[in-house]
Amino acid sequence: MARASLLFALLAVAATAVAGARAPGTATGPPLAAYGNASSVVRRRAVENGLGRTPQMGWNSWNHFFCQINEEIIRETADALINTGLAKLGYKYVNIDDCWAEPNRDYQGNMVPNKQSFPSGIKALADYVHAKGLKLGVYSDAGTQTCSLRMPGSLDHEEQDVKTFSSWGVDYLKYDNCNNGGRNVVERYTKMSNAIRKYGKNIFFSLCEWGDNNPATWAGGMGNSWRTTGDIADNWNSMTSRADQNDKWASYAGPGGWNDPDMLEVGNGGMTEAEYRSHFSIWALAKAPLLIGCDVRSMSQATKDIISNSEVIAVNQGKYYLPLTFPRYLLPMGFQCSQTTIFITDSLGVQGKKVQSSNGLEVWAGPLTGNRKAVVLWNRQGYQATITAYWSSVGLRASAAVTVRDLWAVSSLSSELFAFSNNALQVPEFITTISIFSCSTRHPPLRGKYLPRWRLMTAKMYILTPK
């Protein structure tokens, strides 16, 4: 089937959240107001290790390199995260996926780094990465071998392997689910979780169970993230289906533990720039881990622009972008710029979810602090259409008035670009937008229905805050 066209609008809306009547069309859940308070969300017990207070950010080797990895690539990737400024934006984890170890353990039963691809060893690599202010992750499996069949898994070696990882200075463990002999999944992951609690308290534990046994319902007390889907591929259908599969578990995510629809494919070449922008936007809305999956050493400027948008990242990381203007008399002598930016922490940490769906035209939304809302308008059909997000679905008062900040354009917008009516927000097809709305003295407030007019196949983000 031909690749569908995407309308994706992510709006961060600050307004009072009040449950309203269900919008026309097929709704998939209660109005967003029902999720507007972190305490009202159905949550699982979070593991108490102080990690994962926001979704993890970093890089993983698998989506681009698969098994073709070596220590030079890892070092150069760490360098690139620093040199491109990505590390300053929060991309801290440098994660080595499958194929880093020798096929067999040593005579003491320990895992051994592959002598050809990692001759200096993992500890030396961790030291290199740590010296740059980054963190190093490795991969293992809750089975006798990993999925590649090229290295041993950790089943029945959990404590021994965690001791080894800790001695090397490893900060992150991705734990897969291959070659498990049919043994009970909860028991296998519990054993590794207990080993990490005992011998690796600073190791971020990422369960990669593929969602087969509904890990969102039991993994919260074990680790800091859990896969809700099978492996992602670098194409439209795979990306969108992972978003759908992940959505059903939205109420289980939050500070300390996150749903994981798999790593980012942005920049690997299988989707268009607009589709990659949409991919990144919906992962941000869904509070998914932001783990870059491309070769950051040679990424295009377009790829860098997508994954380095600080205001979009702020939606994922629970921070509210707030530009401030200061009177010049308050500035130190010699300072010319009177504007700065601060980020206010969003303590809710609530995953955005689907709140409207009708014939492939969808609205996704999630609450932020201050009763702001993050809203996604998504056209899943292959034809031009208009999507309307009703205030009652996203948790806004019928009389709510908002002003607009465009996160992809990094600018505030004039109300002359919008038309409003019927207590709804409306966007035509092929526009990917993320918005956070904030109060403004430069433009009158916007009310009711939101109708931007931009060229097709673009990505926009806004912040909306009520007057």
- Residue positions annotated with a catalytic role: 176, 231
Taking the C-alpha atoms of residue 252 and residue 198, their distance in angstroms, rounded to an integer, is: 25
Beta partners for residue 363, in sequence order: 356, 377
Neighbours of 17 (CB within 10 A): 24
Residues 97, 100, 106, 110, CA torsion sign: negative
Please give the single-letter amino acid code of residue 182.
G
**Token match 């939606």: residue?**
315
Residue 228 CA to residue 99 CA, distance in Å, equals: 23
- Give CA–CA dist 175/452, Å, rounded: 44
CA 172 to each of CA 56, 176, 328, 388, 415: distance values in angstroms, whole numbers, following the listed order: 10, 13, 46, 42, 46
Where does 66-126 show beta strands of DSSP type E? 93-95
CB-CB neighbours of 344 under 10 Å: 13
Question: Of 351, 371, 440, 365, whose CA–CA distance to 402 is shortest?
Answer: 440
Q: What is the CA radius of gyration of the chain?
A: 23
Q: Cβ neighbours of residue 239 under 8 Å, at least 6 residues apart?
A: 232, 265, 271, 275, 279
* Burial class for 76, CB neighbours closer than 10 Å (0-12, 13-18, 19+): middle
